[in-house]
Amino acid sequence: MYCSYGDCLAACQPLTPAAMDRMNHRHRHRPSTGQAGAHPERDDRLLIFGIHAVEAALANPNRIIRKVALSANAERRLQHSLAARQLVHERVLPKDLDRRLGHDTVHQGALIEAEPLPEPSLAELTQQMADRPLLVLDQVTDPHNVGAILRSAAVFGAAGLIMTRRHSPPLDGALAKAASGALEHVPVALVQNLARALDELKQLGVMVVGLDGTASEHLDHALWPGRVALCLGAEGRGLRDLTRSSCDRLYRIATDGPLDSLNVSNAAAVALYWTALQRRGAVAPAIE
């Protein structure tokens, strides 16, 4: 259920600074419990804001939600999602969330405090991938880029995302907002050592393909196998040497304009679209 001024006046009053402080928990990656599919042990919770991100979290039965704070406008937009989860929320003013999240944060009057989703193991990801690709990010630290990559992954049907536990952004906040709900649809596995994770993927029958601007072969010449993991590196630096040497194949995106490189999130979208076309049999590799 959701609060209205008539039936839940106390809960619908704007949050006081003390009440907002009770929501002041930040998410950080912590070591895995080692138990696949379990909720990792954490001392704090995630903050997810923005209408689309919050709506998707409310619609995800696997997302445990502890608190909901909404402006009057956000309450109207999310009333059906709230009713479906039978959640009571606290009414806030936009300035309350500005104070909590920062005046430059585009929260759209919606904020939830939630538990992290269960983390899949690499074996679980490969079991459910069928002919859909996995994405692997090599220390991509910008939350907006990772969020945009998650959104493309959800659009083009990627089976999951793999990131390092360190040198990756938290799975909430700006990342969740940029993902526009995709965080609830694309499983994310966090690994301690990327090279070992790539080796495990190979043992599980997955070809590891790296996108590298210095590669000699073009992406549109690639004939993808049924099970592939696409590996992308950080802005500027690209794939680290050990990651690059761990890939089975390296490809670059062919360009013919005045600029010869793409933002990592755009490169991911191009690669995912190409794999989606090949899955549907819509294209064949180009031949020089």
Would you kindly state where each structural domain of the chain is located, as residue ranges? 9-114, 122-279
Tokens of 87: 């959640």
- Tell me the C-alpha distance between 49 and 28, whole Å: 17
pLDDT at 286: 54
Relative orientation angle of helices 194-203 and 122-129, to the nearest 10 degrees: 40
Which residues share a beta bridge with 65? 114
Q: What is the DSSP letter of 16?
A: P
Based on C-alpha coordinates, what's the Rg of the chain?
Answer: 21
Task: Quote the pLDDT of residue 46.
Answer: 93
**Under-50 pLDDT residues of the chain:** 1-43, 287-288
**SS3 call for 26:** coil
pLDDT at 30: 38
**Predicted local distance difference test score (pLDDT) of residue 153:** 97
pLDDT at 96: 85
How is residue 122 written in tokens?
């690499």
Q: Which CATH architecture has domain 9-114?
A: 2-Layer Sandwich (3.30)
CB of 145 closer than 8 Å to CB of 157: no
The fourth-level CATH superfamily of domain 122-279 is SPOUT methyltransferase, trefoil knot domain (3.40.1280.10)
Please state the separation of Cα 228 from the chain's center in Å: 19
Question: 164 pairs with which residues across the strands?
Answer: 191
Note the pLDDT tens digit of each residue in 157-182.
Answer: 999 999 999 999 999 999 999 999 99
